[in-house]
């Protein structure tokens, strides 16, 4: 049985996952599904989604400021200059996820992206946004996919361009988080980028 929008303490309906903690509620209401643009901003989301792989998003959300500090605000040009000493610092930092493969992918991806023209990452990612007219609003959680043809194609293109640790599921989570798709449930107060507050 598909779970639809659920009334929050303020009486307004929201996606059920957004009600489990205050952190999720704030993220659901103000960030998730809202358009994100800019190479550095998208690099941050790409990295955080990769770090989240196999973990709860809440784990990443609660460490996001520490991640930002550790990775120079996810400014591509700065992360691309990280040295072996920076890598060791990251692997010793208990405030982030100290997964060697994910840290190495982040550093390698920054080096690749630093050679791209300004705006190319933004343009590439957004070129995979599906036509919203062809996507009915999900009525319940069972209507929200984990992977789509667009996310599979985006992951394949990123891999072709030497971007690591982004499979179709991670690519779709990125698409949801950055507003390429609107997977807020049909009855959710935040659907369509509505202001919640």
Clarify whether 88 is annotated catalytic. no
3-state class (DSSP) for residue 6: strand
Clarify whether 31 is annotated catalytic. no
Active-site annotation holder among 17, 24, 27, 172:
27
Active-site annotation holder among 57, 116, 126, 157:
57
Active-site annotation holder among 17, 24, 44, 49:
49
Dump the DSSP string for 24-85.
Answer: HHHHHHHTTTS---SHHHHHHHHHHHHHHTTS-HHHHHHHHHHHHHHTGGG-HHHHTT--HH
Clarify whether 27 is annotated catalytic. yes
Cα atoms found within 13 Å of the Cα of residue 42, Cβ hemisphere only: 23
For the annotated catalytic residues, the residue numbers are 27, 49, 57
């Amino acid at each position: 049985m598909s779970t639809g929008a659920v009334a929050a303490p303020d009486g307004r309906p929201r996606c059920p996952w957004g009600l489990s903690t205050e952190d999720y509620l704030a993220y659901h209401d103000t960030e998730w599904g809202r358009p994100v643009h800019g190479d550095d901003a998208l690099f941050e989301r790409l990295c955080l989604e990769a770090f989240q792989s196999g973990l709860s998003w809440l784990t990443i959300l609660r460490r996001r400021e520490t991640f930002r500090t550790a990775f120079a605000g996810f400014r591509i040009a700065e992360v691309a200059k990280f040295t072996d000493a920076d890598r060791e610092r990251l692997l010793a930092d208990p405030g982030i996820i100290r997964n060697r493969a994910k840290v190495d992918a982040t550093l390698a991806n920054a080096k690749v992206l630093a050679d791209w023209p300004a705006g190319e990452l933004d343009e590439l990612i957004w070129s995979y946004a599906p036509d919203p007219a062809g996507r009915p609003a999900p009525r319940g959680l069972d209507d929200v996919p984990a992977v789509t043809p667009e996310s599979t194609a985006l992951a394949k293109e990123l891999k072709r361009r030497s971007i690591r640790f982004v499979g179709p599921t991670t690519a779709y989570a990125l698409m949801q988080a950055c507003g390429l798709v609107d997977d807020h449930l049909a009855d959710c107060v935040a659907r369509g980028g509505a202001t919640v507050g």
